[in-house]
Structure formats: structure tokens, C-alpha cells
Amino acid sequence: MKRHLLSTADLSRDDAVLILDTAEEIARLAARPIKKLPTLRGRTVVNLFFEDSTRTRTSFEVAAKRLSADVINFSAKGSSVSKGESLKDTALTLEAMGADAVVVRHSASGAAYRLATAGWSSSHVVNAGDGTHEHPTQALLDAFTMRRHLGGFEERRVTVVGDVLHSRVARSNVHLLATLGARVTLAAPPTLLPVGVESWPCDVSYDLDAAIPGSDAIMMLRVQRERMNGGFFPTQREYSRRYGLDAQRMAKLPDKAIVMHPGPMVRGMEISAAVADSDRSVIVEQVANGVSVRMAVLYLLLSGSESAIGSDEGQAQNQHQNTEPKGAAA
């Protein structure tokens, strides 16, 4: 893997498969009574969040702690950032404290790249969401969930529905799933598709009903009103009627198709309560898989090798030696 995880577009197929295979091994070990591993003992991971977050920040915190890393949670509210401190000065402060990895979420697209390449810090940088640009670990956990249910990605059809314009999750998923061999369709009203979407490695449809029958997985996106400064559709009711997933639409999916959502959901708008709580929904499973995937990312970035967790004996000694895990090879 590269030194930082900033975008799924930077990942080769081998990189992506390595992360997914390592996450699978970690998930298997996490099923044991004692979940904590000594792999990153003595390392410090900083969660640097300039935007509100529940799932992602908590998931990264749990992931780092299960690998025995020391975790520092930093939020913009109540910090020097609220007094006007810049990203550069915050990065220099964290560098002085000896952070080994910085997990950053920021409202500005490109903030993670700036932090990684400006020379302010020698830490590994993981992009936990930058503006409307990318959210690579969300796409990785989505792919991990799909692989568990669908078996693979070749010729699988994934439909991503909703507010693509403001969605960093959609961008990351399109790049990653295309790299892994899946066929992606974006279904959204024209006003919620970004300029230049025709250059993305995916198909585009304005008709959700036409895309549903051939979908192996359907991913619903939340309408991000907090990022909107105009009228992108007439009413919530109209949007839900055209692009919401209800029980009637779900019934048209193939038998083994799954329903996904990166969260948080707005029940009754992009997805009905009946669909969100149905047997086809893997939304809660996505959250659980996020911990394993983020453990894999932190491990591979900070361990300095492609070996993962190893045997029981190896776990007790892995500060001194590396062992090759089952399924960690690309």
C-alpha cells in the first residue's frame, strides 16, 4: 500500500483486495472472546474531525483501540480551531506530539491531500471524508459487505441512488467498484448529478425503476440538505416518489440482491422503514464491517509490511516478528 489512504482512485486492484482480505482475517479473529490485538501497541492514532460524525469517528476509535494503539480524539468544537487556528498549525501541533497516523474529516474537498503532501507532518494520513470529494474507507467497507453477500465483483451490477452531487461516498464507490470489476449505475435526477459525471467509470440513469431489476446491490444515498443552497427538486414527496426505495420497488429486485445505505438514513424519504428493517437490508452489517476494514487499513499503513494478524503465538510476538496471515495475499 501507499503511505496514505486519500482516495479509492489511488488504489490498484491488488491494493484493494489486500485490504479486503486482511479485513476478512481480522473479522474472523474479532469473533473470539478477546478482541484486542497487540499489533499497534505504542503507536498513536489521532482522530482529527472538523465535521460532526458518529459512525466514522467511533468506528476508527474502536478499530485503533482493538489494535492496542493509543487514540486521541480531536474535534473542531471546543478546540483552538474554533479560535481561528489553521489546519497547518493544527498539523504542526500533532506532529510535535508524535502522532503516527492522522484520520481526518474536513468540510473542504482536498483537505486530506493537503495535510498529507504539504510537509507539515510525517504521519500517515487517512481520509475520513473531505467535503464532497471522497470517503475511501466507507467504499472499502461497502465493498467488503458486497463481497460477503455476492461472492465477488465481476459482472455484478451495483446501483447507487440519490444525491450523487454532494456525496463523497458515491465518488469513492464508483472508483473502487470499477477497479474491482463491478458495473455501477448512478440513478438520480439531473440536478443531483455532478458536472463531468459522464467521464466517471459508470452508467447514468434518470429512471430508478429501469435500473432496479438488474441490480445485485442497491445503495441509497441521503439527500444532504446541509450542503444545498438552492432548490434541487420540487418537494420531498416528489423526490421520494421518483427516487425513494419502498417495499414495492424492493420487490422488483433480484432474489439475492441486497439493500445498502452509508448512513445516516432519513426514513420515509430515500428509504422506507419497511425496507430499512427488511431481511434484504445489510445496513447494520455495514457498520460492523467498518470496524474490521478500518482495522485493516490502520494495520497495513502502520505495520510497515503486508502481513496481518497471524496465529495465536504470532500475536503474542508480533512486535518482534511478522507472520503471513491466511487470506492476506493479494
Collapsing DSSP to helix, strand or coil, 165 comes out as coil
Residue 263 annotated as binding site: yes
User: Which domains are seen in the chain, by residue range?
Assistant: 13-134+287-313 (3.40.50.1370), 136-286 (3.40.50.1370)
Q: pTM above the 0.85 mark?
A: yes
Distances (CA, A) of 308 to 39, 40, 59, 95, 202: 9, 11, 19, 27, 33
264 is an annotated ligand-binding site residue = yes
Question: What does the pLDDT profile of the chain (330 residues) look like in tens digits?
Answer: 789 999 999 999 999 999 999 999 999 987 788 889 999 999 999 999 998 888 999 999 999 999 999 999 987 765 666 556 788 998 999 889 899 999 999 999 999 999 999 999 999 999 999 999 999 999 999 999 999 999 999 999 999 999 999 999 999 999 999 999 999 999 999 999 999 999 999 999 999 999 999 999 999 999 876 655 667 776 888 889 999 999 999 999 999 999 999 988 989 989 999 999 999 999 999 999 999 999 999 999 998 654 434 434 333 333 333 334 444 433
- Annotated ligand binding at 138? The verdict is yes
The distance between the two most distant Cα atoms of the chain, rounded to a whole number of Å, is 61
Nearest Cα neighbor of 302 from 92, 95, 45 is 45
Q: Is 55 within any annotated ligand binding site? A: yes
Task: Give the active site residues.
Answer: 55-56, 83, 105, 135
Nearest to 133 by CA among 109, 104, 106: 109
Is position 242 annotated in a ligand binding site? no
Q: What would you report as the CA-atom Rg of the chain, rounded to the nearest whole angstrom?
A: 20
What is the distance between the alpha carbons of residues 97 and 312, in angstroms, rounded to a whole number?
Answer: 33
105 annotated to a ligand binding site: yes
Helix (H) or strand (E) holding 220: strand 217-220
Q: How far apart are the first and last CA of the chain?
A: 11
